[in-house]
Structures are given as structure tokens and as C-alpha cells.
Amino acid sequence: MSALSERPVNPVVGRSVPHESASQHVTGTALYTDDLTVSTHGVLHAWPVQAPHAHARITSLRPEPAYDVPGVVRVLTADDVPGTNDAGTKADEPLFPPEVMHHGHAVCWVLGETLEAARLGAEAVEVDYEPLPSTLSLTEAIATESFQGSRPTIVRGDAESALATAAHRFSGEFEFAGQEHFYLETQAALAKVDEGGQVFVQSSTQHPSETQEIIAHVLGLHNHAVTVQSLRMGGGFGGKEAQANGPAAVAALGAVLTGRPVRVRYTRTQDLTMTGKRHGFHATWDIGFDEDGRIVGLDATLTADGGWSLDLSEPVLARALCHIDNAYFIPDARIHGRIAQTHKQSNTAFRGFGGPQGALVMEDILGRCAPLLGIEPGELRRRNFYAPGQSTPYGMPVRHAERLEALWQQALDSSDHAERTARVAEFNASHRFTKRAIAMTPVKFGISFNLTAFNQAGALVHVYKDGSVLINHGGTEMGQGLHTKMRQVAATALGVNLEDVRLAPTRTDKVPNTSATAASTGADLNGGAVKNACEQIRGNMAEVAARQFNCHPEDVRFSGSRVTALGVGDAELTFAELAHKAYFQRVPLFAAGYFRTPGLHWDAKTFQGEPFRYFAYGVAVSEVEVDGFDGAYRFLRTDIVHDVGDSLSPLVDVGQVEGGYVQGVGWLTQEELVWDQSDSDRRGRLATQAASTYKLPSFSEMPEELNVHFLERAEETGVVYGSKAVGEPPLLLAFAVREALREAVAAFGPGGREVRLASPATPEAVYWAIEAARAPGDDVDGVPGSPATAGVHHGADANGAETNGAETNGAATRSDTSRPGATPVPVAGA
């Protein structure tokens, strides 16, 4: 077996190849779960009965009227469940709930010969509700102490003492919204039962093994009686890690009860109103800096909006706490976490899994405090970078911390930062009503599941007598290119051409007990397993070749589907010839591979340990232009330098960096989720439940110039072929856009004061931030700007306690313990 990161001569990994299904995608021939309905005979269609209340008790449910609708075959209710009426992993998500917990909650399902029959049948079902009080906002939940799940805390050193003696101390709060996944393919499942009672479910799921377990749980079966296959997904982004389980369980239950295939596919409105989003967060913080602008202490509380049930909120919160430091060393820290329970859809995994939310809090803090410290924001960030030898607040050494400085410098150089900064200053000096700004932000993102047990994977590899190769692994394909990378890994490990390798759909009867394709671990885990299986087979074949060439097996070489040996002249075999010989010598040509990430340990009680295999780093530079009249803006240019290690598939990775960045920009600038918070009978209704009201990024929101570069000479040892994960970390690169908007807003005012910016920073939010930033008397066409309320100064007593001055609408308050009349920290360019 070779070292995990070692690449052979002429590897297939590292080549820029198209996505393995690219031609099918663009020609429309790629099949997705719901497409399989067309070729399935006698399919029944499912439609939910959705509750019209945010919180209510079901006092009666009468399905009988539905059976009067032509074509209705069955109404599924809690009474039909042979196993356990729960579709979650925390026993808090009844599949058929006795109590409505959010507007649009499905209380039962109708099966019909046609989708229209099922829909009409659902309308005919009679349900009586007793409305109950509801909690919709994080502010309400905090005020009423509506919390669920664990309340972890990360502690290092003595944050209280560090803050009390800090030269500069600020405190504030920040609340920001979640994000809708809006994958192109909505939640879908197709279930059928064979003549032996085996339940087979095609599911658009990121976690086939958990979907299998939930179905078996609901049906009262053992796992071996259920097989789940994930053919491919039309996007997932975390939204199909846990929330695909419910529709799959409904389809399976319907198939078992009727003996016919059952199809569940959410409409777009159903998907938006029934499934969870990225967690919104509320943060309160207290931070201290020394005279040079370096962080000395942080005390923060993060509250995640979990929605109505726990789902994955606890690990999401854990990752948020572990990423509040982002790329910055915090010597003394106390970070609390808690999960609010609100009467909204149950929030779930979303690309970054809490990491972006935690890091966003820190970036917001630095962006708000930089002008109060008198330090250029980019320089404040750079001064606080991790240095080699330092560790995170949860006790993990920051390996390759020097890459942050290397990435930052490369980004400065490749983006022409100095020259463009000067041009921005010239532009702003000559434009009163339009301002530009350029901002830089870093990324440090931990790779691995926080729960150590999930960091394992399996694979099954077959070599046939003709030399062709079939691989199956536990990861799922949702457009991110995982299958493409796995084919390249297999081709490299076996020494064959890429076209000789085929990949079979992911299914639970081929590779059992798989982890979710999530946490950016898909290539690391499954790549390790595929490589392990291939090397077992190659070792077997090398023994056969050695006998043929009369050499030692270690001297056998596999490359380009040809087999040679050192010291035997021109003698060679094709890979197919060797496979044929191996079969007739009764040598196995298949293997089950396995991989588990080494070196991980995590104490979930103390929140200390080394939960990540490594950190992925990146830096983005973004330039924006803002209109002072209406807050509208343009994204002029973004330059990205990202650390992907030694890329397995550069073309795929570039696409992931670009896609992650754009999705992050959408979250931070325009994707606004709105619920009706009135006291009317529509309370709790999601108002942004279509593409017409929920604004997604489009071509017009792309930067006019987008440049992506990879950090060179960045091999990551101990990872498959030296690569690094690339799925989630690039989303955090979008922070640069938000910080550029903040700096452009500041340019409308006198400077030296905090700029508070809502998230998402929609044009409306930017407009109001501009109004707050303008100095009194700085009129625009006779309309006075509102006085700034940020940066309220106040003194401190001997213990550092606040003595006057209060937090106003979340503005940062300042406690300056430096000597009277001390000059501000000098402004320094990045």
C-alpha cells in the first residue's frame, strides 16, 4: 500500500476533466429520482395535507371525504404506521404529528392514481385545529427562553480578566438570517416492494444509510429489509442530508400498505414551506484589543434558530462555535451556544454547516471595530492571523497557519490591490453620490465531521476479465463532481485510463453504514476507501504479473492501462490481458475498501480536542460600487486565491470555488426569508415561497470580473493524493463582498465610526446603512442624513465594568482603558 497522499507517475488525478455526467446534464438525458416514475408501472402519487397554522393542536382528522374523490386510493395517517411514527434521529419529528409546529406542516398524506386526484383528495380531508401561541423570531425565543437541545460552551483562558484589562473594549449584537437551499430538484422519492417483501426506495438523499434506517424505523423492519439508492441529485447543499428522510418514509409506507409503487415529489412551494433552511443566528459579543489592535479576549453567545425540532441543529451549533475564530488567534475566549425553538420549518444542514455563521460573527465584529480602532480593516484582519504554533480556542493546533499569510500576499499581488485601492480613493473623491470600496477577507475552515464516528467510508471495486472497472462507494452525487473525482482516484490507483472506469449509483446494499455526503468530506473519505480497494486488487494483480515477468511484485508498474516491470526490458501486458490471466489463476479481482480519518478526537462535553483533519484556507478580494440614492450596488471584481491542496480534479474544483462564492454572496446580500409575524390567521406563513419573491443570484449578480487561483505547492499530507476539500470553504469567501459594501457605505460619511450592516445586505439595508453613516447636515438634495448612533464611547471602572453609555439598536459600545489623550492606532494599508 502506498502513502495516502503519494501520487504515482502520470496520475489521472490532477487532470482537468469534465464532470462525469456533463453531457447528460446539458442534453437533458441525465435521470433524476422523479424521472424514474415514467418507467415504473402503476405508480401512485402522494400529496400532503398542510396545516394553516404556525402552532396548533389537531383536535380531529377525518379522511373519509377524501375517498369520495375519484382516483383517491389511500389516506396515510398516524394509525397506519406499523413501526415508530417518527422521521428524525432525535425522536422529536413525528411523521404524522398530533400537534402542528409550523405553518405548512404536513399532517397526513393522500395517495391517488394521478397527482391531481391526490391534490383534490388532500383538499377534501377535514382537519380541526386548536390554535396555540407561537414563537417566530429569535428575539421572541430568547425573551421567552424557548430553547431546545444542548447548550455547549468553549472556554480558553480567562476571557473576563482579558476583557477587563484590554486597551480597547467593544460590545454589541448581531442578528442575521438563514438561507433557502433552492436546489433545482425538489425533495423526491419513489418506493416499491418486491415479491419477497424487500422495500426498495429511490431517494434524492445525501445520506442513503440514514434514509434506510428511518424507513426501517417507520415500517418496523430491520435495515436489511430496506434498500435505498441515490441515483443523483439535482442539488442538495445539505438540504437532503436529513430532510429527505420524511418523503422517503411516506413513499415506503404507502408502497407497503398498497402493494404499489408510490411517488413523492414536492412542488416548489411545498419544498419551500415544508423543509428547513440554513440556521439564522443571533449573537451578542464583548471583545478586547491591545494597543496594536490584536485581539486579547472574546466573550460571545451564539443563538441558532433551530425551528420546530432539533434535526441537525446541535452539530450545526457546534461547528459555528468552532469557527467563530475564523482565521484569527483569540488567546482568551468564552463562547456560549444555544438553540432556539421557533414555530418555523426545522432548520437543517446547509453548505458550511454552521461554520459560515460562526465566522460571519467575527468578520462583522472586525468590520465594525476597525474604524473605532483607527485601523484599516484589512490590516486589522492581517494583524490577528493565526501564526505557526498557535491553537484554536478548542485546543486544536492550526496546522499550516503560514498559508494564511501566503494566500493574503498572493491575493494582494494578483488583484493589483494597491493600485486599485488608490483608484477607489480617486473615484470616491470625485463622486458624491456613488462610492466604491475594495475589501479583503480570509477563510479558515475545518474539514471532518465533528462527530468522530462519522469519519469513515467504504467502497466496492470490481475489475472484470476484460480489464474494465466498476466502482461503487458510499458518497452521493449532487452535481459537486464527487463521482468524477472517484473515477480519477480509481484510475490512478489501478493505473488504467479514465474511460476504463465506470461508476455505479450509490446504494445501501453495496456499501453499508455510510456517512452522509456532507461536511466537505466526500472526496477525502470515499477517495481513501476507493484507493484502498484498488490497491488491494492491484496488489493481487502484481503477484500475477511478477510471475509472468519473473520479477518481484514491487517492481511491477501500472500506468495507462499497461503493465510493465523494472529491469525486464520491453516486456509488457495490457491491463486487460493481466486481468484475464489473474482470473484463470483464481486471483480475486474485487475488493471492499475502507478508510477512517486518523488523528481525530473530540470531547463533546468540554468542547475540546482535534475534531478536524486539517484546515482549508482562502482569501478573497472584492470591489463594489454603491449608489447613495437607493442603496443599489454592483459587484465590479472579485479575486480569489484558495487552498485546495494538490487538486484531484482542477476543473471541478474551480467550479466548486465559483459556485460556493456565488451562493455565499446570495446569502449575504439578497436571499431574504420573510415570515408573516402579524397576529392574523396567516401568522407564521412563509411569504417568500417562490422564485418570484425569494431572490436568487443570477448572472446579473456575478462580479463583472471573477478570477480564481489556487495556492501552489500546497500538498496536504495524510489526505488522498494530497488534495483538500473544496465543497464548503469557498462559500465563506463571499464575506469580502459584504465587507466591501460596509466600507462603501462608510465612504458616504465622515469616517472613523462603526457601520452596522444588516444581513442579507439588500439594497434597502444598504440604503438605511448609508443614511445612518452620513454626518448630520450632510444633505442630499435637501434631505438631511440621520445622525450616526454607532461607536458610543463610555468609561470603565477599575474592574472594566461599563459605567455609562448603552448599546443602541445593536451598535457597538466602547470601553477605552488606554491612557487619557492616547492617539489612535495608526492607519496602515494592507
Q: Which residues are catalytic, by number? A: 728
Q: Which residue has the cell 382516483?
A: 71
φ and ψ at 815, to 5 degrees?
Answer: -125, 105
Decide: 102 and 345 in contact? Cβ < 8 Å. yes
CA 394 to CA 337: how far, in whole Å?
A: 14
Cα–Cα distances in angstroms (integers) from residue 680 to residues 395, 583, 685, in the given order: 49, 73, 10
Decide: 475 and 482 in contact? Cβ < 8 Å. yes
Of the chain, the end-to-end C-alpha distance in Å amounts to: 46
CA 155 to CA 136: how far, in whole Å?
A: 31
Task: Return the beta strands (E) in 426-537 as ranges.
Answer: 434-447, 456-463, 469-473, 501-503, 506-507
Helix then strand then coil, % of the chain, to nearest 5: 30, 25, 45
CA 410 to CA 639: how far, in whole Å?
A: 10
CB atoms within 10 A of CB 418: 12
Helix axis angle for 208-219 and 245-258, nearest 10°, is: 40
CB atoms within 10 A of CB 622: 29
DSSP letters of 277-340?
A: -SPPEEEEEEEEE-TTS-EEEEEEEEEEE-TTS-TTHHHHHHHHHHTTTTTB--SSEEEEEEEE
CA 643 to CA 709: how far, in whole Å?
A: 9
Cα–Cα distances in angstroms (integers) from residue 574 to residues 10, 539, 563, 681, in the given order: 17, 16, 6, 73
φ and ψ at 266, to 5 degrees?
Answer: -70, 140
CA 450 to CA 724: how far, in whole Å?
A: 17
The answer for residues whose C-beta is within 8 angstroms of residue 561's C-beta and 6 or more apart is: 467, 495, 496, 497, 500, 574, 575, 576
CB atoms within 10 A of CB 147: 16
Could you tell me which of 674, 683, 690 has the C-alpha nearest to residue 52?
683
Cα–Cα distances in angstroms (integers) from residue 193 to residues 181, 255, 564, in the given order: 31, 6, 49
Decide: 111 and 119 in contact? Cβ < 8 Å. no
φ and ψ at 546, to 5 degrees?
Answer: -60, -40
CA 361 to CA 190: how far, in whole Å?
A: 41
φ and ψ at 803, to 5 degrees?
Answer: -110, -25
> What's the burial of 709, exposed, middle or buried (CB within 10 Å: 0-12/13-18/19+)?
middle
CA 216 to CA 684: how far, in whole Å?
A: 33
Beta bridge partners of residue 175, listed in sequence order: 282
CA 277 to CA 289: how far, in whole Å?
A: 35
The answer for residues whose C-beta is within 8 angstroms of residue 451's C-beta and 6 or more apart is: 315, 602, 604
CA 285 to CA 292: how far, in whole Å?
A: 20
Q: What angle do CA 81, 86, 87 make, to 5 degrees?
A: 110
